[in-house]
């Protein structure tokens, strides 16, 4: 697997943007229901973290279109994976989930 090399300055700048976004009404609305974007479990607002769909280390940006609310477990498991790489894990979650 080949990874893009991202400058430390890019990551620093984007993390600062993310910190500012956490203070906005937009982010408060994102976490209001307390549901993880990836696994769809209700974990509560306080247990949600900000995740970059395309990780900063892979060239992602801190924009509203690239940020989701994720539970700590999903965020930790996803790490630096791109959406296509992460899809396999999500697929396994759907297969293991009982029909509602």
Q: What pLDDT digit, counting tens, does each position of 34-49 carry?
A: 999 998 999 999 999 9
User: Looking at the domain assignment, is residue 69 inside a domain?
Assistant: yes
Residue 40 lies in a domain: yes
- In the chain, the number of structural domains is 1
CATH number of the CATH domain containing 26? 1.10.30.50
**Which residues lie closer than 8 Å to 34 by C-beta, 6 or more apart?**
42, 43, 44, 45, 47, 48
Q: Is residue 2 part of a domain?
A: no
Q: What is the residue range of 72's domain? A: 8-93
The two tokens of residue 85 are: 């790489």
Q: Which DSSP string corresponds to the chain? A: -------HHHHHHHHHHHHHHTTSHHHHHHHTT-B-TTT--B--GGGEEEEESS-GGGT----GGGEEEEEHHHHHHHTT--HHHHHHHHHHHHHHSPP-
Does 3 map to a domain?
no
Q: Is residue 25 part of a domain?
A: yes
Residue 30 included in any domain: yes
- pTM (2 d.p.): 0.81
Q: Identify whether 34 is part of a domain.
A: yes
Structural domain contains residue 72: yes
pLDDT digits (tens, 9 = 90+) for 53-85: 999 999 999 999 999 999 999 999 999 999 888
Rg (CA), the chain: 14
């Amino acid at each position: 697997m080949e990874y893009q090399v991202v400058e430390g300055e890019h990551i620093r700048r984007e993390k600062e943007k993310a910190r500012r976004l956490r203070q906005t009404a937009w982010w408060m609305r994102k976490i209001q229901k307390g549901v993880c974007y990836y696994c769809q479990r209700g974990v509560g607002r306080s247990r949600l973290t900000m995740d970059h769909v395309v990780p900063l280390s892979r060239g992602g940006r801190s924009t509203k279109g690239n940020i989701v609310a994720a539970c700590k477990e999903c965020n930790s498991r996803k790490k630096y994976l791109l959406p296509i790489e992460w899809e396999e894990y999500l697929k396994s979650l759907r297969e293991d989930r009982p029909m509602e």
